[in-house]
């Protein structure tokens, strides 16, 4: 550079590009002059700017750069934090997806290995999904949807029940028997509502369990139980019934008289006991034979039982002797009842 502004301009005219630091009027300035060819003539074009203004502009620019730098740092930090959060969320989502996959596989294994016909119906009662047991049970192998009522006609009886499940959102359970594949079979049906995001029932999970074997065993056990009860009742009646006359025997009388006596005592009621035999019964046996005597005993027993109330205990005491227990009867009424039997 030259020693003065004049030298700077002279150098510019000679084709030099100069930057000059000088003082003018006590103000430090920086001038830049370059040569320019305009209309065939060489001109010196320059600009002079006070040094303080340049420094001030540089400070403003530096501060601006600092702000931009801080903003970029903050933005990078925010992006880093956001990345870490997204990464953490992704790990959580991936973990949950793995767990969901495991649960889906578990549920799939469970559903495919249970002895239930499991299927899902939509609102039109069409089959959306089903397990292998249902396919074997129903013979359904189509990929498309089909009405459960067309596939299994006996399910038509439960159309209204499905409607209740869809409308109320409450599980339903029922058991039934039907003729299926040529034989009577027994089933249990459970309907479980499946809700959508709107809280409405969108599908129904259905489980059909065949209990034919168990039901047949149950019916067989019931029949055996009833037969056993009849046998026991027969044996009990046999044990307390006189074989010849068909009325209660001495054993039953002996057991019941104690109970009847205790009841009468606790209730402060009368209780009468009448003992009777047949006059000249030995003569009948001796002259007409024991068969005739047995016939007489039968007729007498039938007669006594027929004219007395059911509340009276009538039993054959032994031989030609009979006992009659009369609850609520005092001595006078018992004598009157004895006279009625004798007169009849």
The tens digit of pLDDT for each residue in 37-47 reads 766 676 666 66
Task: Give residue-wise pLDDT tens across range 67-110.
Answer: 888 888 889 888 989 998 998 898 888 888 888 787 767 666 66
And the tokens for 190?
């459970």
Nearest to 310 by CA among 320, 322, 323, 324: 324
Q: Name the burial class of residue 244, with classes exposed (0-12), middle (13-18) and buried (19+) by CB atoms within 10 angstroms of its CB.
A: middle
Of residues 140 and 142, more confidently modeled: 140
Q: Report the interhelical angle of 281-288 vs 290-307 (nearest 10°).
A: 140
Nearest to 206 by CA among 194, 220, 222, 196: 194
Task: Give residue-wise pLDDT tens across range 148-184.
Answer: 998 899 999 999 999 999 999 999 999 999 998 888 9
Task: Give residue-wise pLDDT tens across range 308-318.
Answer: 998 999 999 88
* 36 three-state secondary structure: strand
Nearest to 31 by CA among 47, 15, 44: 47
CA dihedral 325, 330, 333, 337 (to 10 degrees): 10
β-strands 27-38, 127-130 pairing: unpaired
Contact 293, 284 (CB under 8 A): yes
Task: Give residue-wise pLDDT tens across range 216-255.
Answer: 999 899 999 999 999 998 888 888 888 888 899 999 999 8
* CA distance to 79, 147, 202, 283, per residue, from 142 (Å): 52, 12, 22, 93
**In angstroms, rounded to a whole number, what is the distance separating the alpha carbons of residues 234 and 257?**
22
């Amino acid at each position: 550079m030259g020693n003065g502004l004049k030298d700077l301009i002279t150098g510019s005219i000679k084709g030099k590009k100069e930057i000059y630091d000088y003082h003018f009027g006590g103000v430090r300035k920086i001038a830049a002059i370059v040569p320019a060819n305009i209309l065939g003539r060489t001109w010196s074009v320059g600009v002079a700017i006070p040094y303080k203004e340049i420094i001030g502009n540089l400070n403003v620019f530096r501060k601006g750069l600092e702000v931009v730098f801080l903003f970029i740092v903050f933005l990078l930090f925010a992006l880093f934090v956001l990345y870490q959060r997204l990464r953490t969320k992704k790990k959580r989502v991936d973990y949950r997806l793995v767990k969901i996959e495991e649960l889906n596989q578990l549920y799939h294994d469970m559903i495919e290995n249970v002895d239930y016909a499991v299927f899902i119906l939509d609102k039109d009662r069409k089959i959306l999904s089903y397990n292998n047991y249902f396919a074997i049970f129903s013979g359904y192998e189509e990929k498309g949807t089909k009405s459960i009522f067309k596939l299994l006609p006996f399910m038509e009886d439960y159309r209204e029940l499905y409607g209740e499940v869809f409308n109320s959102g409450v599980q339903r359970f029922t058991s039934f028997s039907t003729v299926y594949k040529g034989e009577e079979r027994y089933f249990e049906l459970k309907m479980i509502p499946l809700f959508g995001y709107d809280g409405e029932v969108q599908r129904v999970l259905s489980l059909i369990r065949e209990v034919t074997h168990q039901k047949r065993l149950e019916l067989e056990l019931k029949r055996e139980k009833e037969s056993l009860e009849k046998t026991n009742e027969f044996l009990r009646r046999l044990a307390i019934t006189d074989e010849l006359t068909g009325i209660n025997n001495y054993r039953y009388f002996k057991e019941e008289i104690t109970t009847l006596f205790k009841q009468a005592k606790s209730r402060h009621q009368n209780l009468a006991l009448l003992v009777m035999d047949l006059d000249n019964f030995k003569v009948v046996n001796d002259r007409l034979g024991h068969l005739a005597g047995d016939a007489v005993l039968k007729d007498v027993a039938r007669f006594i039982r027929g004219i007395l109330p059911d509340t009276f205990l009538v039993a054959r005491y032994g031989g030609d002797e009979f006992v009659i227990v009369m609850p609520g009867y005092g001595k006078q009424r018992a004598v009157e009842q004895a006279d009625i039997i004798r007169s009849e």
